[in-house]
C-alpha cells in the first residue's frame, strides 16, 4: 500500500547515502528539503524530494495523500535507554529527596533499586506487561518510535527472567522496534550484602547462561558505580555476557568516574550511558572507539545532579545520543520531547544537534541505524509530523508540551496499542 505526504514545509535529516551515525560538527549539518514530498510503500520510505519533482502520474495508485502544508516531517525519535518494565512508582522517595535525602542515602536505607525489586518479585507477569504497554503507548504519542527495555529490578534468576520474558512479549506485540537488555548487575540484593562474590557468581554462572539459552536479551548492562559494581566485577560480568553473545551497553560515570568507560570499550560496548561525571581520559578513550556516548538529561533534572557535558562531547568531535532513562526512581518519564528541551536549554545543544542525538545516533546506540534514524530510502517509515511551525527550535522551545501533529509508525498514523 502506498501513502504520499505532500507540501511538507521542511523534510528534515534526509540521507542519500546513509552513514551509521554523526559526530561533532556533522550533528549540526543535516540536510533538509523545503516544500517536499515523501512516498511510503509497505511501511517503508520509498521516495522523497522536492514538490517540483512530483507529477500527476505519481499519485496514481496511492491509497492516501496527506497534505502537510505548514508542517515539518522528521525521523521518529528513538529511546535507547529505559527501564520500562517495573512494578510500581516510587513517589515516597521523591518526597524523601525533597526533605533532603540523597539518591545514595535512600538506597542505603533499602530504597531505590532494592525497593523496586521487592515490589516486582510478587507481581504477576500479566500485570507487568499491561502496565508497561500503557507506558509504551504514552511514549509513542510523544514521538518515540524505537525503544530499549532493561531488566534489573529482579535481582534473582527467577525475577530477572520474568522481567525479560515480559520485555520479549512487548517486543513481539509492539508496533515499534524493541531491543532488550539484561541488567542483573543493577544492585546487590540484601541477602548478598556480605557475600558479593556469591551474587557475581550467580550472575555469571546461572543468570547469563539462562538468558542466552532462552534468547531473552540482545545486550548486557552493568551499573558500574561506587557502592554498586566495581571495575573488576564489571569486567568479569561483561566478559561473561560477551561470551554468550550479549553485547555491552553500560551504566557508567553517573556519580563517579573511575575507569568504567574504558572497561566497557574494551569489551566492545555499543554504548556507555549517563556520563554525568567525566575525566580527560574518558574523552580520550571515547575518541579512539566506535562506542556511542548516551546522555540522560531528564535523570539529571529529576535528581538535581550534574548534566552530561554534551556540548563538550560534541565540540571534541564525538557523537552523542540522548535517551530518557525512564524508570520509577530517577526518571519517571518517557517523554523524549522534554529530553529534547533539556538538551537545548541546559546542555546547550542546538535543536538540530539534539534531533540527531534523539534519532540517528540513538538508533545506532540500539543497533537500529540501518532501519531507523534518518529519512532514507528503505528505512522504516517511522516519522513524526509537527504542528505548523517556522523553525526546528519550535519543538524544544515549547517544553512540556506535545508539539506534534501526528506520529507515523510503519507508514500508518499511530492511535493506540491493541490490548
All structural domains of the chain: 2-75+374-413 (2.30.40.10), 78-366 (3.20.20.140)
Three-class secondary structure of residue 40 per DSSP: strand
- pLDDT, average across residues 363-367: 98
83 is in an annotated binding site: yes
63: burial class by Cβ within 10 Å (0-12, 13-18, 19+)?
exposed
Q: Is 315 annotated as a binding residue?
A: no
Cross-strand pairs, 60: none
Mean pLDDT value across residues 165-194: 96
Does residue 244 have a pLDDT over 80?
Answer: yes
CA dihedral (209, 210, 215, 216) in degrees, to 10, reads -120
- Determine whether the annotation assigns residue 327 to a binding site: yes
Q: Is 127 annotated as a binding residue?
A: no
- 333 assigned ligand-binding residue: no
| Res 109 pLDDT > 80 | no
Give every strand in the sheet of 292-295, ordered side by side.
Answer: 77-79, 144-150, 178-185, 219-224, 247-252, 271-274, 292-295, 321-322
4-50: per-residue pLDDT in tens?
999 999 999 999 999 999 999 999 999 999 999 999 999 999 999 99
pLDDT value of residue 41: 96
**Which pLDDT score, from 0 to 100, does residue 419 have?**
61
284-341 pLDDT, tens per residue? 999 999 999 999 999 999 999 999 999 999 999 999 999 999 999 899 999 999 999 9
Specify the pLDDT at position 138. 97
**What's the DSSP call for residue 235?**
H
Contacts of 44 (CB under 8 A, 6+ apart): 378, 379, 380, 381, 411
233 is in an annotated binding site: no
Quote the mean pLDDT of the chain: 95
Give 59-70 pLDDT, tens digit per residue: 877 889 999 999
From residue 391, alpha-carbon distances to 70, 84, 315, 351, 403 in Å are 11, 32, 23, 9, 12
In terms of C-beta distances under 8 Å and separation of at least 24 residues, what long-range contacts does 121-127 make, across chains too?
121/154, 121/156, 121/159, 123/87, 125/162, 125/165, 125/166
Q: Examine the pLDDT at 116 and tell me if it is beyond 70.
A: yes
> What is the C-alpha to C-alpha distance for residues 11 and 5, in angstroms, rounded to an integer?
10
Choose between 23 and 101: higher pLDDT: 23
Q: Is 213 annotated among the ligand-binding residues?
A: no
Q: Is 129 annotated as a binding residue?
A: no
Is 330 annotated in a binding site? The answer is yes
Amino acid at each position: 500500500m502506498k501513502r504520499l505526504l505532500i507540501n511538507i514545509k521542511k523534510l528534515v535529516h534526509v540521507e542519500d547515502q546513509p552513514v551509521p551515525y554523526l559526530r561533532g560538527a556533522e550533528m549540526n549539518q543535516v540536510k533538509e528539503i523545503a516544500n517536499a514530498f515523501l512516498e511510503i510503500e509497505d511501511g517503508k520510505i520509498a521516495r522523497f524530494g522536492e514538490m517540483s519533482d512530483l507529477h500527476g502520474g505519481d499519485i496514481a495508485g496511492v491509497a492516501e495523500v496527506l497534505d502537510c502544508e505548514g508542517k515539518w516531517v522528521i525521523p521518529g525519535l528513538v529511546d535507547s535507554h529505559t527501564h520500562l518494565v517495573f512494578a510500581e512508582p516510587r513517589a515516597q522517595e521523591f518526597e524523601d529527596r525533597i526533605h533532603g535525602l540523597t539518591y545514595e542515602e535512600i538506597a542505603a536505607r533499602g530504597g531505590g533499586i532494592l525497593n523496586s525489586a521487592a515490589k516486582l518479585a510478587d507481581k504477576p507477569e500479566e500485570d507487568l506487561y499491561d502496565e508497561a504497554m500503557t507506558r509504551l503507548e504514552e511514549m509513542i504519542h510523544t514521538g518515540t518510535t524505537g525503544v530499549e527495555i532493561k531488566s534489573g529490578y529482579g535481582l534473582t534468576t527467577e525475577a530477572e527472567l520474568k522481567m525479560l520474558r515480559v520485555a520479549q512479549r512487548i517486543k513481539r506485540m509492539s508496533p515499534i522496534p524493541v531491543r532488550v537488555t539484561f541488567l542483573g548487575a543493577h544492585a546487590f540484593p540484601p541477602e548478598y550484602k556480605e557475600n558479593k562474590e556469591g551474587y557475581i557468581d550467580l550472575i555469571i554462572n546461572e543468570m547469563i547462561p539462562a538468558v542466552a539459552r532462552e534468547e531473552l536479551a540482545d545486550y548486557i548492562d552493568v551499573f558500574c558505580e561506587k557502592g554498586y559494581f566495581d571495575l573488576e566485577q564489571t569486567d568479569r560480568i561483561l566478559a561473561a555476557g560477551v561470551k554468550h553473545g550479549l553485547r555491552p551497553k553500560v551504566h557508567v560515570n553517573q556519580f563517579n568516574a573511575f575507569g568504567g568507560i574504558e572497561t566497557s570499550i574494551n569489551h566492545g560496548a555499543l554504548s556507555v550511558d549517563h556520563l554525568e561525571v567525566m575525566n580527560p581520559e574518558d574523552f580520550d578513550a571515547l575518541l579512539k572507539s566506535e562506542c556511542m556516548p548516551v546522555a540522560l538529561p531528564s535523570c539529571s533534572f529529576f535528581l538535581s545532579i550534574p548534566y552530561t557535558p554534551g556540548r563538550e562531547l560534541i565540540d571534541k568531535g564525538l557523537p552523542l545520543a540522548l535517551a530518557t532513562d525512564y524508570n520509577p526512581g530517577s526518571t519517571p518519564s518517557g517523554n523524549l520531547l522534554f529530553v529534547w528541551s533539556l538538551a537545548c536549554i541546559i546542555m546547550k545543544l542546538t535543536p538540530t544537534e539534539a534531533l540527531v542525538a534523539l534519532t540517528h545516533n540513538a538508533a545506532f546506540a540500539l543497533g537500529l541505524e540501518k532501519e531507523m534514524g534518518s529519512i532514507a530510502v528503505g528505512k522504516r517509515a517511522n516519522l513524526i509530523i509537527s504542528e505548523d511551525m517556522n523553525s526546528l527550535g519550535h519543538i524544544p522551545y515549547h517544553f512540556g508540551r506535545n508539539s506534534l501533529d501526528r506520529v507515523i509508525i510503519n507508514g500508518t498514523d499511530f492511535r493506540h496499542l491493541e490490548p
